[in-house]
Amino acid sequence: MSQVVLGVGASHSTLMNTHWDEVADLPDAIAFREGLEEAAALVAEARPDAVVIIGSNHFRGFFLDLMPAVTIGVAECVGAGESGTPGGPLPVDTALARSLVDSLLENEFDAAFSLRLQVDHGITHSLQYLVPGLDVPIVPVVLNMFAPPLPTLRRCHRLGEQIGRAVAGDGAGKRVVVIASGGLSHRLPWPKWFETFSDDDRFLVEAWLNGRTSWKEYEVRRRQIIRAAEADINPDFDRRFLDLLATGGLAEIVGYDNDRVEAEAGNGGQEIRSWVTMAAAVGPAEGRTLAYAPIPQWLTGMGVAALVPGGNR
């Protein structure tokens, strides 16, 4: 049977690609990159045959004309390539992806699947830094974390448990690393699609609804709106979340509703769903935080953590 041999969580921010020079001398930014490098070394040491990567989509692959809660890429997968992230075809472990979809359905967990999936930095940023060279096939799992209604954290935890069981039930004998991409606390200047108050709000909702064939046309103004935002980071929440992750105490966070997550961690903090899903997929584990730094220049509390299966948590 196959087995999960490592779990990694890592924050993402395309500003790390496009505006690194602004923070290159800051200890926090350096520490975060060193944490990513340590995590990448752990991934390499785990010798994975496949990587399941769980992340979000920032309206460059999914749009408001169709927004599944959970989608698994089972065949062709293409990186959007925005802001210096990997673009073009990505290698997919189709056999493992199909096994995962089948197992979820057999256990009454409905997930969408795609034979032609476009992903953005919600998937590719972690691949860029944690799996250099993209020489390991992936199974992309995209969660809706930005377009209400969102799947609950409890639902995401159950999804992770089912992913772990599906991997264990796969008879191919593969070593699988599970990566969570996104978070931690941050607030993006993004409206809820049903509450638009400004010209920027209306522009963004139009981009999210109509961008399926023209998302690049909206990129310049989208980027300007994000760059104009003020940082809203909650280091206390982030550190507590990382501590709970390392000690297996996420039951408290899993009980949060969406409003509480947003109140404490911002609308971007909803991306902790990927971490919760990853942790549940790994199961009992020894965890540790590799890096944490609130980096206002990137608008985000940036963390890296690793979970090694084992223990009694």
Q: Is 121 a catalytic residue?
A: yes
Q: Which of 12, 58, 125, 186 is catalytic?
A: 186
pLDDT tens per residue, range 40-60: 999 999 999 999 999 999 999
Residue 28: Cβ within 10 Å count: 17
Distance separating alpha carbons of residues 300 and 266, to the nearest angstrom: 10
Tokens of 264: 């404490």
198: Cβ contacts below 8 Å, ≥ 6 apart = 191
pLDDT tens per residue, range 180-230: 999 999 999 999 999 999 999 999 999 999 999 999 999 999 999 999 999
Record the pTM: 0.96
Residue 83: Cβ within 10 Å count: 18
Q: Which of 58, 121, 125, 157 is catalytic?
A: 121
pLDDT in tens, the chain (313 residues): 899 999 999 999 999 999 899 999 999 999 999 999 999 999 999 999 999 999 999 999 999 999 999 999 999 999 999 999 999 999 999 999 999 999 999 999 999 999 999 999 999 999 999 998 778 999 999 999 999 999 999 999 999 999 999 999 988 999 999 999 999 999 999 999 999 999 999 999 999 999 999 999 999 999 999 999 999 999 999 999 999 999 999 999 999 999 999 999 999 999 999 999 999 999 999 999 999 999 999 999 999 999 999 854 4
- Residue 276's pLDDT is 98
Percent of the chain with pLDDT over 90: 94
Report the chain's terminal Cα–Cα distance, integer Å: 23
234 in Cβ contact with 264 (< 8 Å): yes
Q: Is 186 a catalytic residue?
A: yes
Backbone CA torsion sign across 2, 102, 162, 44: positive
Q: Which domains does the chain have, with CATH numbers?
A: 3-188+229-309 (3.40.830.10)
